[in-house]
Amino acid sequence: MENKKLSKIFFILLSIVIIASSNISISNAKEPMMDYKYNLEEQKINRAKFIWKSSLQEMRKKEEFTDKDIKNIEEYMNNSMKSEKLEGRIKKYNREKKVLAVSTVDELVNNNIINKEQGEKLKKRLNKYDLSNLRE
């Protein structure tokens, strides 16, 4: 009789352990510093995108750029920032930072997307903001 009770209790406990262990999910924990670095890089890139966008909009309002110029600049930058599907985050961030740097204005002038005078005005406006954190 005592053995039956013990075996039932053992069976119940074993069932509870099996059920409980099947509900535990496995998490893919990342190193906290890596997440911090990715968030920091994303913030740098988002800030630079905002600066570029607002600068272009201000220059369009002042009629220093036409809508066609803005469209061509944005198209050039979007094409330059496109990433491959299986590309790593750091490689993607580095490419985006390179495109969002002030030196891209020279490329826009060299590729005849904007003229030299427009390029100088855009550089002057972008240099008001500190985009040096995009170099690394």
| Secondary element (H or E) of residue 95 | helix 89-100
Is residue 94 pLDDT above 80, yes or no? yes
Is the torsion defined by CA of 48, 49, 52, 55 positive or negative?
A: negative
Contacts (Cβ under 8 Å, ≥6 apart) of 81? 95, 96, 99
Domain positions in the chain are: 66-136
**How would residue 54 be classed by pLDDT, with cut points 50, 70 and 90?**
very high
**Which tops the pLDDT comparison, 101 or 1?**
101
Q: Give the pLDDT confidence of 6-43 residue by residue, as tens digits.
A: 787 877 877 777 776 665 555 555 555 556 666 788 88
pLDDT of res. 117: 92
pTM: 0.68
Token pair of 76 as six digits: 């050039």
